Structures are given as structure tokens and as C-alpha cells.
């Protein structure tokens, strides 16, 4: 290759990277505008809603909370108490003890006065069998609680067991260690009951980070900003993702993922598609994509809704090792889901789902870390070859950085003008400072985890969930 | 100075793309600074407002309770109450304070009844809150109108009926729903007349709220629901079916039986459920005869009806479905057989059958 050919190739690569970055930034701007509109509309719609009738009505539809638990003995009793204190009449809680090797079951039996009952399971979805059986409380105060002890099959398998057992019309699938606010169910069920021109198949909620928050008797008492920079950065990241990203996709009816930490599903549809996929580590995204695909193929009008109220609080990883492991799994889950449902991508038969949501997810979520990593390698090569035109490089790096800071500040705005959770004096400064630091303290690790996730997906097939060590939320 | 000049020269001599990048970066940086300062202002304002609200709420809660408990038995307003009204009147024009007063009054309204409730209503009129609510009805924003109607509903303001009623046809379902709730809260079952010619769907959310409202009243004398059962609007039919179940409308059984051939499956399933709770024995033979033409959901509902209304003569029909491929039907059929012919049921455990059926028989045997 002569010099001019190399130069042409370099030129093409420059334009490709530039074009990708420009498209990404444009998409973020568009999404944040849509999100702003949707947030305003949501707040208007909910400014006069009286939830009292719904929560106290026995005519409200039944909801089953399904919470898989695996070796959660540290907090399981307290967490179940939080689940049982929801302000909604027509609901029950099924805890699936997924073959725990610790004493979770014994603790639950003791705390809730459980006894084994005769129970027959309609195995609409194949799961691992029961281990010791099904338990209900002898104490009427805990009549809403059922504990199912089964052989270990993973989170998806446990959720499927819950789907088989539930007799409710809707199921709320949550992580047992999440703190669910008392009004969570009544707010989450609203879109299912309100929308009349389409079937709402699922609704997702915002996940907030509970590290350093004060919790008493299963209730959130005080919201604090954690001390660790890693956790603080994740708060900012979640605000961006939930308040700007998912809110916009909700308006476009293009949500592809509902966090596994908390989501409500139409049980009939979830069972019709075969429940959760036990072969993927991204079962929360996969089931939403499969349900949407099912509705598209049936040619039925549907919606996946999203509630921006801070209803579910969870513990975020507070060290880089666990954080990387979590993001690695998220990456593999995304790859698996997009690959499994690749038929949808750029397929007009799936409408905006195939022509907008899937391509966006593929280009700006699936490919983003790869393109970024290739870009970094390419930049290093250019430095070695002394081909970098520094005036261009620096000005565009600075522009990208300033844009990311501004985007985070807009997310903070959205938070302040809507839910204003971090009220304490001095927190505002920290959050603003964080917008400047986050690209250095969080983003490189997200990129690393995503690249590792790609590597593990293709070359380390044995890798599954990984371990998420919980320290437990701050209870007083 | 030299550095500044160097930067200016550098910028002027740079290619257009770099100029553009620096220009945009500078503009965004300015935006960041402005937004940061504004964010600080917003946070400070919100904190201040929260503190003021808490103080104001505490102060006015005490004042309002004093107003309520200082009332005379004959219902006339005394001097102390007049002073309190004047004090509140001065605060009502301020939006944030008005909001707090309304919320306190509403909470009190939920806790009291009779004379005290009337006293709160009087206060609502005298302080001018009523006029603000009426003004909301004239607003061009739909959510303000909905808020206004909601407020009039909470304070049981019947006088606003003529102004609220036209919103029953409002294009936004939220406004329609608030109007429907107003009508039912004010006029109980008579308020349901909007169902007569309701074309738009009645959401399940609205249905639950209407039913809850109706159940709050002591007078449970329901009006004729037949016209609604015959409505062309399927959501009205579904709502009427719920009314039939809750208020034991035995007199509509014939209409329910006619509805068994409704074109919409969800309605047919709800009809069977309503007939179950109304002991609709008349429908049993008809459903038995058409059993194979029914959808699976209807078949399951019908077995629910049979479980409640079974008689020994149904045994041959039950026997036919003891090993139905559907789990729910099989389970119900076995339970019913056990209840009407225990010997025959016990005999089943001895005859050979699939593993799944054995499991269900064993379970039914144990319950």
C-alpha cells in the first residue's frame, strides 16, 4: 500500500469515528428532549390522582410479588417484612428460596411462623423441582406470605417457579434485597388499568441506590449520598439512564429492558412466551424483548410502560471488582438477547421495535464499547506513528468531555425538578463535582467491564452470573 | 496579554472544524456554569420552600382544628371562627399556601363527619377556595381542570354540578374520569347516568374508583343496570357486570344469560363469573350443552360455576372431563367429583392414569 492509500483509509476511519460520535451525541440530545416532555406529561397526569381508592379496593387487580432468594440469610427476614408492608390490598408475596445453602429457610420459618402445606403446582413453565416444599404462615398477620423451597436453578428458574404458582393477574418480579416503597404497587399497576387502547404487558420502575440511606423497619427513612466515589458515580449514572434514557424510550414505546430489580408483568403474556430464559444471564432484558416480539407477531397493540417515581431502592456495588463483574454480566446479557432476537433488527414487520429500538440498542449499547476500544487503540497507533493532529484531537476530546458533563447536569436538573431526593445541604455541590469526575472514575471501568464481557461471551462460555456480595442496607 | 493574543491568533488561524469545536465547547461551558448556578438556586429555593411549608402546615393545622372545635351547636359562625376565616382568606391567594390549606382541610374532611364536615365546607366557601376551584374549571389546561374537579369532589360541592357536568365529554380521559367520580360522589347511583351514552372506554382504573366510591355510601339502593348490560360499549358492560356481582342483582339473570353469546370473550367470561356469584343455575345446562364451543377461559370459568352449583345429576358431565388436558379444569373436575361422589373419586386412585393426573388426584385427596 502506498502512502496515499493509507491516508485515504485513515481519512475514512476518521469520518466513521466522527460520524458515530456525532450520531451518539445527537441521539442523547433527542432522547433528553423527549424525556423532558414525557416527564412533564407524567407529572401533570399524576398531579391530581387519588390513589387511596385503588390501594384500599378489593376490586383492584391481584398482584403477586415474586422474590427469588439465594443465600440471603443476612437480610431475608427484614427484606420480607418490607415486602409485606406494601399499601395495596390485593397482593401476596412469594419468596422462592432457590436452593440456598445457608439457613435462609430456617430463619424465615422461625420469623414468620411458617408451616409446610399441601400444594400442587401447575407446571406451565418447566423448572427445577421443589426441595422441601411450600410454606405458609400460621399467623394470620402474614397470610400474604408464601415461601417456596426449591432446588437451585438460578434466578430465572426461581422466577418461573413464581409464575407457575401465582394466581394473580399481574406479577411483580423483584430482587429480594431491594427496598420497595409502600406505594410502589399502586403506582406501578396504574398503567395496566388506565390504558384502554392497547394491552400493557409490562411496566418498569426507576431503581435508586440505597447505599448509605437509612432504613427502619423495612421503610426508607433518610436518603444520603454515599461516601464512596464509585457509588456516588453510579447514582449519577442511574439518574441519567432512568430519568433521561428510559423515560424517553417509554414515550416512544421502545423500552427493551425492565430492570430485574423491579418490574411488573402481565402474567398471561409472560407465561405465553415461556417465562424467563434460564440460559441467559440477561433474563430481565430477554423476557421483555420476547414479550414484545410475541405481541408484534400476534399483531396486537401493546405497551411497555415506565414509572419514574423512586419506588425501588437497591444496593449498588461499592468496590470495583464487584462492579466490573456486574457490568460484565449486563454486557453478556445484552449480547445474548440481541443475538437471540436478531431477526427483529431492521425488520419492518416489527415496526418501530425493529426499526428503532433494536437498532438503537445494537448500535449505541452493544457496539459502543467495542467502537470506543477500537478508537482508543487506533488513537494510540496514531500517536506511535506520529500521525495525530493534536489541535483536532484535543478540541474534540474537550468537546466530548464538556458534553458529557452537561448531559449529567441536565440529569441532575431533571432529578431536582421532579423528585428532589438528595435534599441535604452540600449534596448539590458534590453532585455537580461528580459530573466532572464521573467520566474518569466510572466510565473507564464500565468500558473495561464491557470489553471483558465481550471477551467472556466469545471465549469464556462457562462464565455465568458471577458473585454479587451484599453488605445489606443500613438498618437502624 | 501575550498569551491572550496568542490564543486569539491561534483560534483565528485554526481550520473551521476546530473553530467550531472550540466555539461549541465554550458555549457548553457557559451553559454548565449558568446551569450550575441555577441548580444551586433551585436547591436553595426548594429547601426554603420545604421549611416554610412545614412551618405553615404546623401553624395552620392548629388554626383549622381550633376553627372546627370552636363551632357552636346551632351552626352559626362565632367571632373566633370569623377571625380564623379572615386569616385564611389572606393566605388563600398565595398558591403554595392555598395548596397546603386544601391538603389540611382534605385530611380533616376524611377524619370528621356530620356538623364538622359541614363546617369545613362552610370554611371552603368563606375563604374563597371555592372560587379558586371554579376558576380552574375555566383554565385552558386539561390537568388544571381535572385538579379543579377533583377538589370539588373532595369537598362535596354539589352546587358546581352544572359547571362540572359538561366535562363528561372532554377529550382527555383524565378529565372525563374526574367528572365521572364527581357525579358519583355527589349523586351516588344516579350519578352513573353518564354510562347511558358513554362512547369512550371506561378504564379499569376508573371502574375500580367508581365502585369504591359507591361502596362508601350507606344507601346501597342500586338503579336499573339492564341498559348498561346491553350497552354497545364493552367496558360499560364489564362495569355493569361488576355491579351485578357486588350488589347481587338477581333480577338481571335473564339479561346475563343473553350475554353469554356476547361477541367479546372477556365479557362472556365475566358473565359466567357473575352468574356464578348470582347462583345462575339457569345457565348451567346451556353452558354444558355448548361446552366444546366455549373458549378455554370460558370453560375454566364454567367449572368455577359448577364447583358452586353442582348437583348429583352433573356427574356424567364431570366424569367426561376428569382427565381434561387443562390443569385447572382437571383439578376442578376432580374436586367436584370428590364433593358429589366420594366413592367414585376414591376409585380413581386405583385405576391406571398418567403421572400428572395421579399427582392431581393425590392432591385433591389430601384436601
Residue B173 touches partner A, C-beta closer than 8 Å: yes
End-to-end CA, chain B: 93
Which residues in chain A land under pLDDT 70? 1, 463-476
CA distance A367 to A378: 16
| Partner residues linked to A355 by β-bridges | none
Those of residues 223-282 in A touching chain B at CB distance below 8 A are: none
Residue B189: CB atoms within 10 A of its CB come to 18
Return the closest-CA partner of residue A257 out of A273, A279, A242.
Answer: A242
Helix (H, G, I), strand (E, B) or coil at A57: coil
Distance to chain B for A249, nearest Cα, Å: 23
Those of residues 3-32 in B touching chain A at CB distance below 8 A are: 14, 17-18, 21-22, 24-25, 28-29, 31-32
Whole-number pLDDT of residue A476: 46
Distance to chain B for A108, nearest Cα, Å: 25
Distance to chain B for A418, nearest Cα, Å: 11
Output the pTM of the full model.
Answer: 0.91
| Partner residues linked to A133 by β-bridges | A149
Closest-CA residue of chain B to A392? B18
Residue B37 touches partner A, C-beta closer than 8 Å: no
* Record: contact B32-A402, CB cut-off 8 A: yes
Cβ burial of A330 (10 Å; 0-12, 13-18, 19+) is: buried
Distance to chain A for B78, nearest Cα, Å: 34
Distances (CA, A) of A122 to A129, A265, B22, B221: 12, 19, 65, 42
CA distance B82 to B361: 75
* Record: contact A120-B14, CB cut-off 8 A: no
Whole-number pLDDT of residue A223: 95
Best of B9, B13, B24, B36 to disrupt the A interface (most A CBs within 10 Å) is B36
* Record: contact B36-A432, CB cut-off 8 A: yes
Residue B39 touches partner A, C-beta closer than 8 Å: yes
Tell me: the pLDDT tens digits for A21-33? 999 999 999 999 9
Q: CB pairs below 8 Å between A and B: how many?
A: 113
What nine digits make up the cell of A440? 474518569
Chain B neighbors of A396, CB-CB under 8 A: 21
Residue A122 touches partner B, C-beta closer than 8 Å: yes
What DSSP character marks residue A302?
Answer: E
End-to-end CA, chain A: 70
Those of residues 218-277 in B touching chain A at CB distance below 8 A are: 235, 242, 246
B226 neighbors B258 (Cβ within 8 angstroms): no
Whole-number pLDDT of residue B347: 87
Burial state string for B148-182 with b = 16 or more CB within 10 A and e = fewer than 16: bbbbbbbbebeebeebbeebbebeebbbbbbbbbb
Return the closest-CA partner of residue A238 out of A320, A159, A308.
Answer: A308
Whole-number pLDDT of residue B352: 63
Which residues in chain B land under pLDDT 70? 1, 75, 352-353
Select the residue of B22, B40, B146 nearest A428 (Cβ to Cβ). Answer: B40
* Record: contact B212-A190, CB cut-off 8 A: no
Return the closest-CA partner of residue B229 out of B268, B190, B191.
Answer: B268
Residue A58 touches partner B, C-beta closer than 8 Å: no
CA distance A25 to B134: 46
Select the residue of A48, A124, A417 nearest B143 (Cβ to Cβ). Answer: A48
What nine digits make up the cell of A150? 426449591
CA distance A408 to A438: 9
Chain B neighbors of A395, CB-CB under 8 A: 18, 21-22, 25
Give the ipTM of the model, two decimals please. Answer: 0.89
CA distance B97 to A151: 58
Chain B neighbors of A398, CB-CB under 8 A: 21, 25
Best of A49, A59, A267 to disrupt the B interface (most B CBs within 10 Å) is A59
Chain A neighbors of B24, CB-CB under 8 A: 399
Whole-number pLDDT of residue A218: 76
Residue B85: CB atoms within 10 A of its CB come to 18
Residue A118 touches partner B, C-beta closer than 8 Å: yes
Helix (H, G, I), strand (E, B) or coil at A196: coil
Residues 6+ apart with CB under 8 A from A346: A354, A355, A358, A359
* Record: contact B204-A61, CB cut-off 8 A: yes
Whole-number pLDDT of residue B336: 95
Chain A neighbors of B36, CB-CB under 8 A: 409, 432
A445 neighbors A320 (Cβ within 8 angstroms): yes
For chain A, helix (H) and strand (E) counts, in that order, are 17, 12
Those of residues 283-322 in B touching chain A at CB distance below 8 A are: none
Backbone region of residue A115 per phi and psi (left: phi > 0; alpha: psi in -120 to 50; beta: other values): beta
Closest-CA residue of chain A to B204? A193
Best of B16, B19, B21 to disrupt the A interface (most A CBs within 10 Å) is B21
Pairing between strand A145-150 and A91-98? parallel
Return the closest-CA partner of residue A19 out of A385, A364, A451.
Answer: A364
Largest CA distance in chain B: 108
Distance to chain A for B276, nearest Cα, Å: 17
Amino acid at each position: 500500500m502506498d502512502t496515499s492509500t493509507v491516508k485515504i483509509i485513515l481519512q475514512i476511519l476518521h469520518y466513521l469515528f466522527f460520524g458515530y460520535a456525532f450520531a451518539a451525541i445527537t441521539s442523547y440530545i433527542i432522547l433528553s428532549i423527549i424525556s423532558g416532555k414525557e416527564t412533564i406529561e407524567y407529572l401533570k397526569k399524576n398531579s391530581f390522582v387519588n390513589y387511596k381508592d385503588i390501594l384500599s379496593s378489593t376490586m383492584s387487580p391481584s398482584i403477586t410479588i415474586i422474590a427469588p432468594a439465594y443465600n440471603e440469610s443476612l437480610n431475608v427476614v427484614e427484606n420480607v417484612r418490607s415486602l409485606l408492608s406494601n399499601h395495596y390490598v390485593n397482593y401476596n408475596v412469594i419468596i422462592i428460596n432457590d436452593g440456598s445453602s445457608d439457613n435462609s429457610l430456617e430463619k424465615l420459618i422461625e420469623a414468620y411462623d411458617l408451616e409446610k402445606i399441601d400444594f400442587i403446582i401447575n407446571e406451565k413453565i418447566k423448572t427445577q423441582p421443589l426441595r422441601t416444599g411450600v410454606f405458609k404462615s400460621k399467623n394470620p398477620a402474614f397470610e400474604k406470605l408464601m415461601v417456596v423451597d426449591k432446588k437451585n436453578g438460578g434466578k430465572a428458574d426461581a422466577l418461573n417457579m413464581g409464575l407457575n404458582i401465582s394466581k394473580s393477574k399481574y406479577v411483580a418480579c423483584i430482587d429480594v434485597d431491594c427496598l420497595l416503597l409502600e406505594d410502589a404497587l399502586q403506582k406501578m399497576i396504574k398503567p395496566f388499568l388506565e390504558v384502554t387502547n392497547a394491552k400493557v404487558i409490562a411496566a418498569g420502575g426507576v431503581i435508586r441506590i440505597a447505599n448509605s440511606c437509612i432504613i427502619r423497619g423495612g421503610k426508607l427513612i433518610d436518603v444520603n449520598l454515599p461516601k464512596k466515589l464509585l457509588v456516588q458515580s453510579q447514582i449519577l449514572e442511574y439518574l441519567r439512564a432512568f430519568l433521561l434514557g428510559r423515560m424517553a424510550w417509554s414515550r416512544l414505546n421502545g423500552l427493551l429492558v425492565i430492570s430485574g430489580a423491579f418490574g411488573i408483568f402481565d402474567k398471561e403474556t409472560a407465561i405465553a412466551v415461556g417465562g424467563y430464559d434460564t440460559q441467559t444471564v440477561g433474563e430481565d432484558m430477554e423476557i421483555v424483548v420476547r414479550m414484545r416480539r410475541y405481541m408484534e407477531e400476534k399483531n396486537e397493540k401493546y405497551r411497555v410502560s415506565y414509572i419514574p417515581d423512586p419506588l425501588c431502592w437497591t444496593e449498588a456495588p461499592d468496590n470495583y471488582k464487584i462492579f466490573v463483574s456486574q457490568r460484565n454480566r449486563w454486557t453478556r446479557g445484552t449480547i445474548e438477547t440481541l443475538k437471540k432476537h436478531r431477526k427483529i433488527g431492521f425488520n419492518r414487520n416489527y415496526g418501530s421495535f425493529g426499526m428503532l429500538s433494536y437498532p438503537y440498542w445494537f448500535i449505541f449499547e452493544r457496539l459502543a464499547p467495542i467502537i470506543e476500544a477500537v478508537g482508543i487503540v487506533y488513537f494510540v497507533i496514531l500517536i506511535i506513528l506520529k500521525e495525530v493532529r493534536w489541535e483536532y484531537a484535543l478540541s474534540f476530546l474537550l468537546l466530548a468531555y464538556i458534553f458529557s458533563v452537561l448531559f449529567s447536569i441536565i440529569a441532575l436538573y431533571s432529578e431536582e425538578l421532579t423528585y428532589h431526593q438528595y435534599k441535604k445541604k452540600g449534596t448539590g455541590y458534590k453532585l455537580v463535582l461528580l459530573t466532572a469526575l464521573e467520566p474518569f472514575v466510572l466510565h473507564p471501568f464500565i468500558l473495561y467491564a464491557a470489553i471483558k464481557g465481550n471477551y467472556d461471551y466469545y471465549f469464556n462460555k462457562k462464565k455465568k452470573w458471577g458473585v454479587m456480595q451484599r453488605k445489606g442496607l443500613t438498618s437502624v | 496579554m501575550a498569551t491572550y493574543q496568542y490564543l486569539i491568533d491561534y483560534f483565528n488561524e485554526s481550520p473551521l472544524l476546530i473553530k467550531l469545536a472550540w466555539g461549541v465547547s465554550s458555549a457548553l461551558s457557559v451553559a454548565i456554569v449558568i446551569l450550575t448556578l441555577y441548580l444551586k438556586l433551585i436547591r436553595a429555593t426548594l429547601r426554603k420552600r420545604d421549611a416554610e411549608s412545614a412551618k405553615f402546615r404546623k401553624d395552620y393545622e392548629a388554626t383549622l382544628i381550633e376553627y372546627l372545635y370552636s363551632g357552636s351547636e346551632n351552626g352559626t359562625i362565632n367571632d373566633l371562627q370569623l377571625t380564623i376565616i379572615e386569616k385564611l382568606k389572606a393566605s388563600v391567594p398565595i398558591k403554595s399556601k392555598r395548596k397546603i390549606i386544601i391538603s389540611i382541610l382534605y385530611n380533616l374532611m376524611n377524619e370528621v363527619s356530620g356538623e364538622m364536615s359541614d363546617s369545613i365546607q362552610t370554611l371552603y366557601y368563606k375563604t374563597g377556595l371555592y372560587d379558586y376551584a371554579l376558576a380552574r374549571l375555566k383554565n385552558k389546561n386539561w390537568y388544571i381542570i381535572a385538579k379543579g374537579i377533583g377538589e370539588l369532589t373532595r369537598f362535596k360541592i354539589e352546587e358546581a354540578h352544572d359547571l362540572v357536568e359538561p366535562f363528561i365529554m372532554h377529550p382527555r380521559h383524565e378529565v372525563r374520569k374526574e367528572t365521572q367520580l364527581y357525579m358519583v360522589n355527589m349523586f351516588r347511583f344516579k350519578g352513573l347516568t353518564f354510562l347511558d351514552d358513554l362512547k369512550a372506554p371506561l378504564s379499569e382504573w376508573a371502574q375500580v374508583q367508581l365502585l369504591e366510591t359507591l361502596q362508601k355510601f350507606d344507601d346501597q339502593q342500586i338503579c336499573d343496570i339492564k341498559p348498561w348490560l346491553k350497552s354497545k360499549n364493552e367496558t360499560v358492560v364489564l362495569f355493569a357486570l361488576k355491579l351485578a356481582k357486588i350488589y347481587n342483582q338477581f333480577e338481571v339473570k335473564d339479561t346475563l344469560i343473553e350475554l353469554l353469546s356476547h361477541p367479546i370473550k372477556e365479557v362472556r367470561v365475566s358473565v359466567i363469573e357473575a352468574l356464578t356469584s348470582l347462583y345462575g343455575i339457569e345457565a348451567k345446562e346451556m353452558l354444558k350443552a355448548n361446552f366444546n364451543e366455549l373458549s378455554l377461559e370460558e370453560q375454566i370459568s364454567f367449572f368455577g360455576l359448577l364447583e358452586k352449583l353442582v348437583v348429583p345429576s352433573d356427574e356424567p358431565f364431570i366424569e367426561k372431563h376428569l382427565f381434561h388436558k387443562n390443569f385447572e379444569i382437571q383439578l376442578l373436575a376432580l374436586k367436584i367429583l370428590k364433593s358429589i361422589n366420594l366413592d367414585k373419586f376414591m376409585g380413581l386412585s386405583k385405576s391406571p392414569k398418567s403421572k400428572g393426573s395421579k399427582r392431581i388426584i393425590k392432591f385433591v385427596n389430601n384436601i
